[in-house]
Amino acid sequence: MSGLKLRNVKKSFGSVHVIKGVDLDIEDKQFVVFVGPSGCGKSTLLRMIAGLEQISSGDLFIGDKRMNDVDPAQRGIAMVFQSYALYPHMTVRENMGFALRFAGAPKEEIATRVAEAARILELGALLDRKPGQLSGGQRQRVAIGRAIVRHPDVFLFDEPLSNLDAELRVHMRIEIARLHKELNTTIIYVTHDQVEAMTLADKIVVLRDGVIEQAGSPLDLYDDPDNLFVAGFIGSPKMNLLAGTAEAGGIRLADFPEQLVPSPVAVPAGTAVTVGIRPEHFDPTGSAALETTVEIIEHLGGETYAYARGAGSSLLTLATDNNRTLKTGERYQARFNPASLLVFGQDGKRLR
Amino acid sequence: MAQARLARREHITGWAFIAPALILLGLFMIYPIVWSLWMSFQVGKGMNLSFGGFANIVRLTKDPVFLRALGNTFTFFIFQVPIMIVLALLFAVALNDATLKFRGFFRTAIFLPCATSLIAYSTVFKSMFAIDGVVNQTLMALHIIGGPISWLGDPFWAKVLIIMAITWRWTGYNMIFYLAALQNIDRSIYEAARIDGVPAWARFWYITIPMLKPVILFTTVISTIGTLQLFDEVANLTAGTGGPSDSTLTLSLYIYNLTFKFMPSFGYSATVSWVIVVLVGILSFLQFLVARDRKPS
């Protein structure tokens, strides 16, 4: 049993409050991703769980034990750093076995565990090299191997893929997902890349300014965001957000004043709202429509995105059901189903 | 054709630019070095010199004062360099700790000695270590010693005093190199080690020391050269005698005495100078040999 519980956890550096009260439950064997823009406190929260930063107030439980004042080495965790943090003067084998020497493991056991980690990560051929002779992806695998050999209850990853190029990042992302299946342990993973969060997580925790904006499964967050921030942060390409005002028969969009869009939720007339619609919710069979002119077309092969605007409106991102015949400058009727709209109040909260 | 002429003109311009530096270096550095090598084969007193072949080298082996100076220099080198390097390393690691209060003050205080005037500090040391100086009085007041130590009159304590003086002066200088190197080590390496349960002593021994190895090698070579050329402290603290009874006489001081204090013996003193050059070469080579990366077989 190695779930985690955070209860009203706070962190301040002097008068600067970085984490402003976080409550979170992480179940055993769950893959949890902390995601948010830079400076949101996600790395700090991870380092507090690791024990590298003191917790200013609140409680942290790993399993059933309160861990606030426990030494990092005794928390049953292992961490993979963004910079890999490999010992540059040691070989891959020594890097992975180093911690075990101080845990009092006999030589044969160290060798067995290192060999096991090397097998899982396909590092066998590199065991006698030094980090300086490895590529970025290989170094990252060694860093993960160094974590694996300790058989921790919880793995912590601090932006592990940020230093890799795009292609390698996709590859390592799949590796990490596979690793989670194979090791079957709790993983807490920090990233600013929402694609990584969507693809890896069992549970995403979206953070902003030291507060959890929303936590839930990737599709929950995608389909049912609690607020504007989560709606705008999760999803690529981004959700279209349009200002509007509620009227008796629906919502009048500021950018398309000739249209009255039926609202999926009851909103008192006169309320200022923001309407969100995802690019793929534009659907040629939809009952409502916005009149637009296409400005830019992106052919991705499997999908064609059009960037279009109405007279004087901001640019909308539209999925076109892979309409490859579309040309720039053309008029385009962006049809959609009003039921797929998300409506947010002035304070950014979702109106349900 | 035109291009060749252009290239030639560029060559001339280039050489013209570096010529002043080259001429000065040649005149004041390379020429004296070559000349001193030539001089080391000359025998005779004053200006009355003649070529003596290896006579000076033979004289070295039979000169008790030279052997004494060589022994003293090695004593200083063997005790002082390790003590200073270890001290500098410990200070650097301690002063690199972000939680330490008054870090800036300590760093400055430890670095300052190498920037102070040599004469001023020698004078202060002389008065502090006099028979009735503050050091003896303090040690006696603390009942560590029964009677005063004759720091400058006893051959053993005179050596100790010289070692203390150089260590005091140069530890901070070496510490700065270590501090700079420590600040270049990625902090997350230490964090990873903490999470891995590596104890503090092992982080120092297995991570800090190996990662500072190039800097340690550099400071060791520099300190070795400095100690083999040791002159200032001995000349000032012992009034230029290397006393008592040559017990602190170093090779450099002996060279000075041979050239300027005794009946000038330029040839022989040049030979002694080249002994230092050879020693520095051998010791530096050995240090590089010890510090080289061993490939796992």
CB A283 within 8 A of CB A321: yes
Nearest Cβ partner for A89 among B193, B199, B211: B211
Q: Same domain, yes or no, for B25 and B73?
A: no
Q: Same domain, yes or no, for B34 and B67?
A: no
Chain B residues with CB inside 8 Å of A150's CB? 196
Question: What is the per-residue pLDDT across A100-145, written as a single tens digit (0 to 9) for each?
Answer: 988 888 999 999 999 999 988 888 899 999 999 998 889 999 999 9
Q: How far apart are the first and last CA of chain B?
A: 57
Distance from CA of A75 to the nearest CA of B (A): 9
Question: What is the per-residue pLDDT across A53-80, written as a single tens digit (0 to 9) for each?
Answer: 999 999 999 988 999 999 999 999 999 9
- Does B13 fall in a domain? yes
Nearest Cβ partner for B198 among A77, A98, A128: A98
Q: Find the residue in B nearest to A72 (Cα).
A: B195
- Does B180 fall in a domain? yes
Which secondary-structure segment (H or E) carries A16?
Answer: strand A16-26
Nearest Cβ partner for B194 among A72, A87, A103: A72
- Does B11 fall in a domain? yes
Q: Same domain, yes or no, for B28 and B79?
A: no
Question: Which residue segment(s) compose the domain that B281 sits in?
Answer: 63-291
Q: How far apart are CA A89 and CA B206, in angstroms?
A: 9
pLDDT given at position B297: 40
Q: Same domain, yes or no, for B100 and B145?
A: yes
Q: How far apart are CA A268 and CA B246, in angstroms?
A: 103
Q: Find the residue in B nearest to A97 (Cα).
A: B196
Q: Same domain, yes or no, for B230 and B286?
A: yes
Question: Of chain B residues 152-211, which have a CB less than 8 A from chain A?
Answer: 186, 188-189, 191-199, 202, 206-207, 210-211
- Does B58 fall in a domain? no
Residue with the two structure tokens 């050489």: B15
Q: With the C-alpha atoms ordered A182, A186, A192, A198, is the resulting torsion angle positive or negative?
A: positive
Q: How far apart are CA A314 and CA A326, in angstroms?
A: 20
* Nearest C-alpha neighbor of A159 from the set A178, A140, A145: A140
Token pair in block for residue B269: 């003193």
Collapsed DSSP state (helix, strand, coil) of residue A175: helix
**Would you give per-residue pLDDT tens digits along chain B (297 residues)?**
677 888 888 889 999 999 999 999 999 999 999 988 888 888 777 777 777 778 888 888 888 888 888 888 888 889 999 999 999 999 999 888 888 888 889 888 888 888 888 888 888 888 888 888 888 888 888 888 877 787 888 888 888 888 998 899 899 999 999 999 999 898 899 999 999 989 989 999 999 999 998 899 889 888 888 888 888 888 888 877 777 888 888 888 888 888 888 777 888 888 888 988 898 899 888 888 887 766 544
Contact A79 B191 (CB under 8 A): yes
Q: Give residue A143's region: left, alpha or beta (phi > 0; psi -120 to 50).
A: alpha
Distance from CA of A198 to the nearest CA of B (A): 27
Within A71-119, strands assigned E span 77-80
Nearest Cβ partner for B198 among A79, A91, A102: A102
Q: Same domain, yes or no, for B216 and B274?
A: yes
Question: What is the per-residue pLDDT across A191-226, written as a single tens digit (0 to 9) for each?
Answer: 998 899 999 999 999 999 999 999 999 999 999 999
Q: How far apart are CA A94 and CA B257, in angstroms?
A: 55
Contact B195 A91 (CB under 8 A): no
Q: Same domain, yes or no, for B18 and B67?
A: no
- Does B98 fall in a domain? yes
Reply yes or no on whether the pLDDT at A306 is more than 50: yes
Contact B188 A85 (CB under 8 A): yes
pLDDT given at position A97: 92
Q: Find the residue in B nearest to A95 (Cα).
A: B193
Nearest Cβ partner for A50 among B189, B195, B207: B195
Q: How far apart are CA A341 and CA B101, in angstroms?
A: 58
Nearest Cβ partner for B196 among A73, A83, A89: A73
Chain A residues with CB inside 8 Å of B296's CB? 91, 128
Kindly state whether A62 is in contact with chain B, defined as any CB-CB distance less than 8 angstroms. no
Q: Same domain, yes or no, for B34 and B120?
A: no
Contact B188 A82 (CB under 8 A): yes
Question: What is the per-residue pLDDT across A84-105, written as a single tens digit (0 to 9) for each?
Answer: 999 999 999 999 999 998 888 8
- Does B225 fall in a domain? yes
Secondary-structure breakdown of chain A: helix, strand, coil percentages, each rounded to the nearest 5 = 30, 35, 40
Chain B residues with CB inside 8 Å of A91's CB? 296
Kindly state whether A13 is in contact with chain B, defined as any CB-CB distance less than 8 angstroms. no
pLDDT given at position B1: 63
Nearest Cβ partner for B207 among A82, A87, A91: A87
pLDDT given at position A1: 54
pLDDT given at position B296: 45
* Residue B228: HSE in the Cβ half-sphere, 13 Å Cα cutoff: 19
Q: What HEC string does chain B produce?
A: CHHHHHHHHHHHHHHHHHHHHHHHHHHHHHHHHHHHHHHCCEECCCCCCEECCCHHHHHHHHCHHHHHHHHHHHHHHHHHHHHHHHHHHHHHHHHCCCCCCCHHHHHHHHHHHHHCCHHHHHHHHHHHCCCCCHHHHHHHHCCCCCCCCCCCCCHHHHHHHHHHHHHHHHHHHHHHHHHHHHHCCCHHHHHHHHHCCCCHHHHHHHHHHHHHHHHHHHHHHHHHHHHHCCCHHHHHHCCCCCCCCCCCCCHHHHHHHHHHHCCCCHHHHHHHHHHHHHHHHHHHHHHHHHHCCCCCC
Q: Same domain, yes or no, for B34 and B68?
A: no
Kindly state whether A81 is in contact with chain B, defined as any CB-CB distance less than 8 angstroms. yes
Best of A102, A126, A142 to disrupt the B interface (most B CBs within 10 Å) is A102
Q: What is the CA radius of gyration of chain A?
A: 24
Domain count, chain B: 2
Which secondary-structure segment (H or E) carries A205?
Answer: strand A203-208
* Nearest C-alpha neighbor of A118 from the set A110, B297, B191: A110
Q: How far apart are CA B181 and CA B173, in angstroms?
A: 13
Question: Of chain B residues 278-297, which have a CB less than 8 A from chain A?
Answer: 296
Q: Same domain, yes or no, for B188 and B125?
A: yes
Q: Same domain, yes or no, for B93 and B196?
A: yes
- Does B153 fall in a domain? yes
Kindly state whether B104 is in contact with chain A, defined as any CB-CB distance less than 8 angstroms. no
Q: How far apart are CA B225 and CA B228, in angstroms?
A: 5
Contact A73 B195 (CB under 8 A): yes
Look up the CATH number of the domain holding residue B244: 1.10.3720.10
Q: Same domain, yes or no, for B74 and B30?
A: no
CB A275 within 8 A of CB A251: yes
Chain A residues with CB inside 8 Å of B197's CB? 73-74, 99, 102-103
Q: How far apart are CA B158 and CA B125, in angstroms?
A: 12
- Does B83 fall in a domain? yes
% residues pLDDT > 90 (chain A): 59
Kindly state whether B98 is in contact with chain A, defined as any CB-CB distance less than 8 angstroms. no
How would you class B280 by CB atoms within 10 Å of its CB: exposed for 0-12, middle for 13-18, buried for 19 or more? middle
Q: What does DSSP assign to residue A239?
A: P
For A22, A129, A140, the CA distances from A134, given in Å and listed in that order, are 39, 7, 9
Which secondary-structure segment (H or E) carries A157?
Answer: strand A154-158
Q: Edge-to-edge, what's the strand order for the sheet holding A288-299?
A: A316-319, A304-309, A288-299, A331-336
Token pair in block for residue A329: 């400058």
Best of B196, B203, B217, B293 to disrupt the A interface (most A CBs within 10 Å) is B196
